[in-house]
Structure 1
Amino acid sequence: MTITREQIVAEARTWLGTKYRHQGRVKGLSVDCVGLVFGVAAALGVPHQPVSDYSRRPDGTLMPGIEAQTEPVTGEPDAGDIVVFQWAAEPMHVAILTSPDHIIHAFAINRVVCEHRIDERWRRRIACFRAFPGVA
């Protein structure tokens, strides 16, 4: 199955305004960062397994579920790729690139799914980029 970067970004934008809630998984009701990423995957028919065994704290529990279902980005990251951010030296948050310099994510501090520019503060926290399998 092949999906396009444009499809990923378009689907992610349909989640804008959804309230943040840790472990939330329902568009329009509540979602967290992982729920957004895999909710977009589900809407596009990307095979995936639910990921729910991660903490709200930077304790190393986030990455195994992300790595098991995505691929490392080789080359320059682009719209539709997944950005992994770290706090306290541990991966702790994920977002979807909507352009090389913008993300959409469910962020606890904002309490809602939002899209914004990656400023220097965010750029310093980037741990890696991942991609859904089969993205064209």
Structure 2
Amino acid sequence: MSAQGAEIVSLAREWVGTPYVHQAACKGAGCDCLGLLRGIWRQVHGGEPEHVPAYSKDWSEPQGEERLWQAALRHLVEKPLTQAAVGDVILFRMRASAVAKHLGVQSVVGFAEQRSGAARPIGRAHGGNGSKFIHAYSGHGVVESPLSPPWQRRIVARFHFPEETV
């Protein structure tokens, strides 16, 4: 586990229990999945990486543009899906016809990922391979959840925070 990855997870865990509030990014008061990542970014790098335009609460964007993915590519470091590490930012596509619009921070890398280098379900009930991630979603707020097979199937990209920003 890298020191940076451990720091990212530690910061993310400080947000657990924060209520879900669409487009918010305030630890303890409210955030959505992007707000969680924005808050961690501010703690690590100071300031916002860029102005965040308004976005819809549901999983569809009428324009069909991958805005979240594009923003992640501008500010984070993309890595292969098979190289799971603690502290990774994970991008999810919740429906096949929708844009990728959910984010989380990998908090635990399960034994199947460690052994094979790939996130693959192995049939353990509800918990998949032991991996976990921290994310915010409606009705639950910020939680640490098992990175179960249904979640794993929705992963479309994996990133890590840059060591420094320009």
Q: TM-score range by the shorter chain?
A: 0.7 to 0.9
Deviation at 1:49, TM superposition (A): 2.1
After TM superposition, give the deviation of residue 66 of structure 1 in Å: 2.0
Given residue 136 of structure 2, which amino acid in structure 1 is its aligned partner? Answer: A
Q: Which runs of 4+ in 1 moved over 4 A?
A: none
One-letter amino acid matched to 1:93: H
Matched, 1:9 2:9: yes
CA distance in 2, matches of 1:50, 1:80: 24
- 1:71 deviation in Å? 1.4
Provide the rounded CA distance (Å) in 1 between the counterparts of 2:42 and 2:53. 15
User: Residue 6 of structure 1: SS of its match in structure 2?
Assistant: helix
- The aligned counterpart of 1:51 is 52
Judging by fraction of residues, say which structure has more helix: 2
| RMSD of equivalent CA atoms | 1.9
**Structure 1 unaligned blocks of 5 or more:** none
CA-CA distance at 1:81 after TM superposition: 0.6
Deviates more, 1:16-25 or 1:87-96: 87-96
Query: Which has a greater percent of strand?
Result: 1
Cα deviation for residue 42 of structure 1 reads 0.7
1:115 aligns with 2:144: yes
Which structure has more RCO (C-alpha within 8 Å, separation ≥ 6)?
A: 1
Counting matched residue pairs gives 132
Deviates more, 1:15-24 or 1:87-96: 87-96
Question: Which residue of the partner structure matches residue 64 of structure 1?
Answer: 70
CA distance in 2, matches of 1:130, 1:53: 23
Identity, % of aligned positions: 28
Q: 2:84 aligns with which of 77, 86, 103?
A: 77
Corresponding position of 1:132: 161
Kept in 2: contact 1:81–1:131 (CA 8 A): yes
Kindly state the Cα deviation for residue 46 of structure 1 after the two structures are TM-superposed.
5.6
